[in-house]
Copies of this chain bind each other. A is one copy, B any other.
Amino acid sequence: MNETLQTIFQRRSVRAYSDRPVQDTDVELIVRAGRYAPSGMNTQGWHFTVLRNQDKLKSLGERVAGVGQTFFYNAPVLILVSYRIGNRFAEDDCACAMMNMMLAATSLGLGSVWCNRINGNSQFDTSLQDYGVPAGYQVHGCLALGYASSPLPADRENKSDTVTYL
């Protein structure tokens, strides 16, 4: 089985991170992977905000989840994927970019998880300019990123009866 398929089958959502720092070059490759996702009519109407400033991260976590709380599992890096409001393809485009980034992270030995506390769930997703999200953009997905603090499950249970061949 080729490495890409292995990566796809080995990816797991990671919800506990170690303190090991993430290399700039890896972050850049992961963001580049997101930007290589397909987009409807090739609009590429997305924006990637890479949050690594620890004060900003703490502040955003508390703003979304409450004082002393966080929604991104204390990961050392958070990538916010937002889209220009009004782009009708954008939600799928952003989801594809998120998937590419998750696989790129896995291929580099990093863990990640799509965090669901901003996109569509709060009053914050269009007012995060203090955190690097451009005005006029709505956050669709947040990717927590870092090294997993413990080994990942070797396999996962997939539901049966989800495929029809015709």
Which residues of A line the B interface, CB within 8 A?
1-5, 7-9, 11, 13, 29, 31-33, 35-38, 40, 44, 46-53, 56, 89, 91-92, 95-96, 98-100, 102-104, 106-108, 113-114, 116, 131-134, 141, 156, 158-159, 162-166
Contact = CB atoms under 8 A, between A and B. Distances in A.
Nearest to A7: B4
Given A35-B158, A116-B40, A107 B166 contact: no
A112 to B, nearest CB: 10
A44 B159 CA distance: 7
B162 A132 contact: no
Contacts of A163: 31, 35, 47-50
Q: Chain A interface secondary structure, helix, strand, loop or mixed?
A: mixed
Contacts of A48: 162-164
Nearest to A92: B95
A144 to B, nearest CB: 12
A58 B127 CA distance: 47
B91 A166 contact: no
A162 B96 contact: no
Contact of A4 (B56, B91, B106, B116): B106
30 contacts: A4-B4, A4-B103, A4-B106, A4-B107, A5-B29, A5-B33, A5-B104, A8-B100, A9-B32, A11-B36, A11-B38, A35-B158, A35-B163, A37-B99, A38-B102, A38-B114, A40-B116, A44-B158, A44-B159, A47-B164, A49-B166, A50-B163, A53-B166, A89-B116, A95-B99, A96-B96, A96-B98, A99-B100, A103-B103, A132-B165
